[in-house]
A and B are shown apart, each in its own frame.
Chain A
Amino acid sequence: MQPLKMIIEGSFFDSQLYSGRLYLWKTDGSIQIINWDKLIESITIQPRLRLAFECGFRQSDYLYGTQWDLIFKDEEIRSLITNKFIQLSQNPIEVSQSLLKNSEIRHQKNPIGFPHSDLLIYSNRLYVGTGDGIFSTTCYKENEYPVSTRPRKIMDAPVLGLSASYGSLSLSCGSDGLFEMSVKNKMKDRWNLNSDEDITDNKAHNLSELHSSSSRWTFQSIFSSSHHNSGYLADFERERDPHPSNYYSATRKFRRIISSEEIFAKSSYSWGHQDKLCQVRDRTITVVQFHPWDEENTFLPLGELQLRDFKGEVVTGDSALFGFIIECDNGIVVMDSNLENIWIPGEPVNWRIFSRSKFYENQLHIVYDDRLEIYSFNDDYFVNQETKKAGIKYYEHKGRSRNQNR
């Protein structure tokens, strides 16, 4: 099934979708903040396709989970829902500048250096990695400026890539290696403060001196990717705690660095995210499932997947629920969780997925020179999560709930 596609015209450098807001970093150095829910509601769609549209663009969690198992076993219902997605995918949804403007919350100056190397929003705080270090500021909905104009520099060293989980940032710092920085704010946790004041210690700890270009969390561990080595896993164990669901405060203990060669028995560009570790070599992705809690089958080989569309050399790779995403010199190939290849031609300005999100984890944002293209993948709801080879596994216990506030 082809993904849904939305096109927003404009000259952007990056995008983020967080908590009902679309943040657009524009090439003029400003940030445009859009009320995403309002924008989605304002787009005219045939009523019979509204369910697919809503699930596709602002509530990806709706069709996930076991609550629909009984209904999805019914072939007619499954076919009906699939057909709605197929019909909606026939034509891209184009968002005009005036429609975008109608949903604009604010268009503000970027308070942090531009252009950045990477950024993310974690616990209502924006972290921006640049050649001058990492800057942090808040983006609470109550703020007058959606991106607070009082950023703070929290690290001096140049950063190429950021990723967040377990109350920490993983920091890829090129030849300086892989670092981790705690961004837990114990006072805020305790008192639920919405202040701009940051009272974390923000100390960065070196996990490995091996080269790191990007990194992703694999449960409590971190996988580092680079073209100067084959990648490696900074392996952590998670200590038992009395409240196992509260992963934010879970205690982690570093075990060791595990090289990609040890995991895949081969050398080539690799990446990992949650339960899937991938290595790409020529036109083949070797997939290993990571079970950190299983000492006998910690690295379970799932086999090789053949890429059909693959042009140029690999630039970088990532994994989402809906599949694997590989950027090549001249475009992006998505191997979705049904093992279909979707080739998206053209060199992107930027792209990102939202794997930590509850509602947008099916989306792939690709920025081109004159537009943002938002792809929504909707096959994975119907894929057996236990046996899937492409894409990370959906875990119901992640605390996802349709009733949670966005």
Chain B
Amino acid sequence: MEILIRPGLTYIHKTDHRDGSRQKSQWIISQLDERGSFILMYDSNWKHDHIGWGLHIQDRCANYLGTDNTGTYHLIVAKFVDGDRIEKWHGYPADHTYNPQDIPSRDILWQWKNMGYIGTCKVRKILKGQRCNL
């Protein structure tokens, strides 16, 4: 489902990250909150080279936004991709424990820490690919 966020900026909700598809992490937040995470990422410029990193902020803190592809544990980081570089983005819950490509860049993690969204403990756990229970 494509949603026009604002002129020139589109967000696509991918069904395979919501339908229990095997090998796909799953969102546990609503589509509205998924777009909220995307817009926060976009407006905060938490992105490099058409790859963005988002959080689900509640009460000024990061909250769980998804589960890993086996449904075993919760995830707190979202990865957004503008694959064709035409401002048509999609996203998914990033499993930082599995794939190093799903670990946000350290400058963005440090921004999140400085804004109080995540603690320094979580920065370390994400950078090391360790599980990050809230």
Chain A residues within CB distance 8 Å of chain B: 13, 27, 113-118, 130-131, 157-161, 173-176, 211, 213-214, 227-228, 312-313, 315-316, 329, 347-350, 369
Contact = CB atoms under 8 A, between A and B. Distances in A.
A114 B106 contact: yes
Given A227-B97, A228-B97, A347 B127 contact: no
B131 A315 contact: yes
A114 B99 CA distance: 20
Contact of A175 (B99, B124, B125): B99
Contact of B131 (A158, A161, A313): A313
Contacts of B133: 312-313, 329
B100 A158 contact: yes
B31 interface: no
B106 A115 contact: yes
Interface stretch (B32-40, B75-83, B115-123): B115-123
B103 interface: yes
B3 to A, nearest CB: 30
Contact of A174 (B100, B121, B123, B124): B100
A213 B100 contact: no
Given A115-B106, A115-B109, A174-B100, A369 B129 contact: no
A175 B97 CA distance: 9
Nearest to A328: B133
A160 B106 CA distance: 13
Contacts of A312: 133
B98 A211 contact: yes
Contact of A160 (B105, B119, B128, B131): B128
Contacts of A329: 133
B121 A131 contact: no
Interface of B: 97-101, 103, 105-106, 109-110, 119-121, 123-125, 127-131, 133
21 contacts: A114-B110, A115-B123, A118-B128, A130-B106, A158-B101, A160-B100, A160-B128, A160-B129, A161-B128, A173-B100, A174-B98, A175-B99, A227-B131, A228-B98, A315-B125, A315-B130, A315-B131, A316-B128, A348-B121, A369-B119, A369-B120
Contact of A213 (B105, B110, B119, B130): B130
Contacts of B98: 174-175, 211, 228
Given A114-B106, A160-B100, A347 B121 contact: yes
A228 B98 CA distance: 7
A212 to B, nearest CB: 9
Given A213-B128, A347-B119, A115 B110 contact: yes
A117 B96 CA distance: 12
Contacts of B110: 114-115
Given A174-B99, A347-B121, 11 more contacts: A157-B100, A158-B100, A160-B128, A160-B129, A173-B100, A228-B97, A228-B98, A316-B128, A329-B133, A349-B119, A349-B121
A131 B129 contact: no
B97 A213 contact: yes
A48 B103 CA distance: 51
A355 B110 CA distance: 30
Contacts of A161: 128
